[in-house]
Amino acid sequence: MAAEMRAVSSKLQGLLMQQLRGSGQQYAGVGLRALSSSAQGAFQTAPEEFSVHNYESIQVTSAQKHVLHVQLNRPEKRNAMNKAFWRELVECFQKISEDSDCRAVVLSGAGKMFSSGIDVVDMAHLLQTPGDDAARMAWHLRDLIGKFQKTFTVIEKCPKPVIAAIHGGCIGGAVDLITACDIRYCAQDAFFQVKEVDLGLAADVGTLQRLPKVIGNRSLVNELTFTARKMMADEALDSGLVSRVFPDKEHLLNAAFALAAEISSKSPVAVQGSKINLVYSRDHSVDESLDYMATWNMSMLQTQDIIKSVQAAMEKRDPKSVTFSKL
């Protein structure tokens, strides 16, 4: 196999750069608008229930080929995060990580808003610690907080890109949730609120750690955190918290699924490798990240996906015509 790849690479080397230079602008124009009709049709078709995912607080459906839709599904409670949620979201994304057919995920909320955050009624029961020994109570609380933190970290560690589609309120724990996602879109009616300070506590499951790296404006992060004020959609776009804003929930979901379709048409080796290295580089120096990337690609560059993609470019075929194996 290695000899075959070297022979093909040698034969194509001279033509590769010429073809890619000529086709670069052509491929750059392939975007959400071109995919909107097909993605819209896929979303409007009755979604297929993903049989291995059956949950109480979330709903998982196979929205279109290679794309899963994870929906917070307690609309009567404004998608508040109850005891079941913290367990089920971990289980859900662990399964998605191992699902070789899934290449992208859209995360949204059912009903009138994305999520009101932690279910305070459930939280009151969860915070009841056994006994009256301070050390044992503290040990119990630390373990509980760690489990909550893992619920969102599992999204970040999932190699499949996760697109958060946010409408209405995104409050408290919901901000923790979306900062662990890879891409964030929102509707015009969306607002974001780091609410924990109004409840007498510091946000402890990810916002204080991830939001400064997402926005890159520590002054703004401090303001939002210390005051619990609402950040509206346009300000969220300007700050970099979201990358696009849409008129309403329908347009938001259509765009999110169009983006997921675009991502899922690419080589899963390339996409998932990119996510893993982007997350790694966020928390490491440039030198460390470059070394990690070199180690990563010493094996990943041997994929047949490169040969397939180069051949498609040379033959001036649509990149989406290339079929990539499951990963």
Query: What is the set of active-site residues?
Result: 118, 173, 176, 196, 204
Q: Which helix (H) or strand (E) holds 160?
A: none
3-state SS string over 215-229?
HCCHHHHHHHHHHCC
Sign of the four-CA dihedral 164, 170, 174, 180: positive
Rg (CA), the chain: 22
One-letter amino acid identity for 10?
Answer: S
What is d(CA 85, CA 57) in angstroms, rounded to the nearest whole number? 5
Start-to-end CA span in the chain (Å): 19
Sign of the four-CA dihedral 303, 305, 311, 313: negative
The beta strand positions in the chain, using DSSP E, are 48-49, 58-64, 67-72, 104-109, 162-166, 169-171, 183-187, 191-193, 231-232, 244-246
**Token pair recorded at residue 55:** 């949950």
Phi, psi of 99 (to 5 degrees): -85, 105
Beta-carbon count within 10 A of 315 CB: 9
Assess contact for 88 and 56: CB atoms under 8 A.
yes
The beta strand positions in 123-182, using DSSP E, are 162-166, 169-171
